[in-house]
Structure 1
Amino acid sequence: MVLEMFDIILGPIFSVFESVESTIDTAAPAGVLLLGLLVGLRHAMEADHVAAVSTMVATSRGRLRRAPILGALWGLGHTATLFVAGLIVLLLAIHIPENVSGRLEFGVGVMLLFLAVTTFTGFNTGRFLRGIFRKGSHEHVHQHENGVVHSHGHTHEEEHHHDHKSVIIGMVHGMAGSGALMLAVLATIESVPLGLVYIAIFGAGSIASMAGISVLIGLPFARAKNHIKLTMALKYASAVVAFVIGAGMVYELGFVEQVFQG
């Protein structure tokens, strides 16, 4: 249901992209690269991508200021994975089997479920592990005027930004989407350097598009920053959307298409 609603909302935009893409002459390298840029811009708007980034924006501090950074880092991770996969595919002239691509997409669904649950609960994996191993904290010593000296544990958890999380999520999406992208590249490109430039241009489009989308996601949070209940409602809404999309992907791929069978 959520995916269908998402497609309806962005349908006109996707139609414009597809119309422009269909007019591009891919016989020339410049046309291939222009196609890569447009496909990259459109690719970042897919529902599972937006859902994942929305949970990151919803749980970040200084949401509007950091939103484009989170989106760009997602695109960077996405591009890094595609670049490695593309290099392997182009050099070895192989393609990624459909069942492997489906299993990776299933992993994206699981990741969305995890992001939804952590957004709902506020659970932080890194903080949990540091709590177990007692890392990331140190002692501060204080001396009062009466001569009493005491110390207390202190962490800089609130000051630390987990930018690597955005990169990792982008890398997971890159692995899942690499199959279809590489098939498209192999169908039109025979030159390895041109193929790699295509992926780089595609990545630049994804980075720019997701940075812009992240700003749009952050705007409602910026408007509601002085209203705790509204902020929480927006946060939970992003978690619900991610959960529904993730559950839909897991069900469709795991039980309907049965990507792990055979």
Structure 2
Amino acid sequence: MVLEIFDVVLEPIFSVFHMAESSIDTAAPAGILLLGLLTGLRHSIEADHVAAVSTMVAGGGKKLRNAPVLGTLWGLGHTATLFAAGLLVLLLAVQIPEMVSGRLEFGVGIMLLFLAVTTFTGFNAGRFFRGLFNRHSHSHPHAHPEHGLVHTHEHGHEGEHHHGHKSIMVGMIHGMAGSGAIMLVVLSTIQSVPLGLAYIAIFGAGSIASMAGVSTLIGLPFAKVHNFARMTLALKYASAIVAFVIGAGMVYELGFVEQVFE
């Protein structure tokens, strides 16, 4: 139900993609590759993908240039997962069961709930575990010639830079769920391994380019209001609420309605 509401909102955009995709002649390799590009572009603007990236943009700093980087890293992680699965489909003729795809989508719902909670609370798992092992902390000597003293103290660098590991991992989790699984179905109809790999590559390029653009648009309001703490906080909480609602909807529909684990 929740995803259906977002699908209705995005229906005008999706209808344009559907019209373009249905008019492509896939008998020729060029048509197959063009279909991959359009599918990749459309794939990145699905509601759960946008919700996940919005939470990462919300915690990615105040500079607008961070937003497209996060989107690009999401796309790279997403493409890496599809590339690995695509090799199994092309080389070993492995078919991905629909049941597996549903369970992976359930995992995406759990991930969205986690992203929503961490965005609300500001909890950073990586920083937490680094703190347990005292990483990124070391001592610096400081001299005071006027007093003839030299002393050292512990010094950390937390918060001075942002890692893209989270974006890559989220993209990898998204890779096998939703229309990513549909891409693998199309891939199973391609007999040529080089053409299949090219299809994955161009699908990934479309996803990366589209998500970089989407994340930039998401980052614009954060960059505009970065001097206003309350508005920044409101945008951050709004992104968390959207991610929580979509994640909860996916968990309920897949776990209780469709019962993908039965």
- TM score, norm. by length of structure 1: 0.95
Give SS of 2:100's match: helix
- 1:114 counterpart residue number: 114
Give SS of 2:154's match: strand
8 Å contact from structure 1 (residues 142, 150) kept in 2: yes
Displacement after TM superposition at 1:259 (Å): 1.1
* Cα distance in structure 1, aligned partners of 2:181 and 2:207: 16
Displacement after TM superposition at 1:185 (Å): 1.9
- 1:182 counterpart residue number: 184
* Cα distance in structure 2, aligned partners of 1:5 and 1:213: 19
- 2:256 counterpart residue number: 255
Cα offsets for 1:23-51 (capped at 9, x unmatched): 10000000000000000000000001000
8 Å contact from structure 2 (residues 69, 212) kept in 1: yes
Give SS of 1:152's match: strand
Query: What amino acid sits opposite 2:134 in the alignment?
Result: R
8 Å contact from structure 1 (residues 95, 179) kept in 2: no
Give SS of 1:159's match: coil
Identity of aligned residues (%): 73
Query: What amino acid sits opposite 2:51 in the alignment?
Result: A
8 Å contact from structure 1 (residues 97, 179) kept in 2: no
Ranges in structure 2 where 5+ consecutive residues have no aligned partner: none
Displacement after TM superposition at 1:2 (Å): 4.6
RMSD: 1.3
Within the alignment, does 1:60 sit opposite 2:64 as a pair? no
Detail structure 1 runs of 4+ shifted over 4 Å in the superposition.
none
Give SS of 1:141's match: strand
1:1-150 equivalent positions in 2, closer than 5 A: 2-144=2-144, 145-150=146-151
* Cα distance in structure 2, aligned partners of 1:179 and 1:54: 23
- TM score, norm. by length of structure 2: 0.95
Ranges in structure 1 where 5+ consecutive residues have no aligned partner: none
* Cα distance in structure 2, aligned partners of 1:38 and 1:63: 30
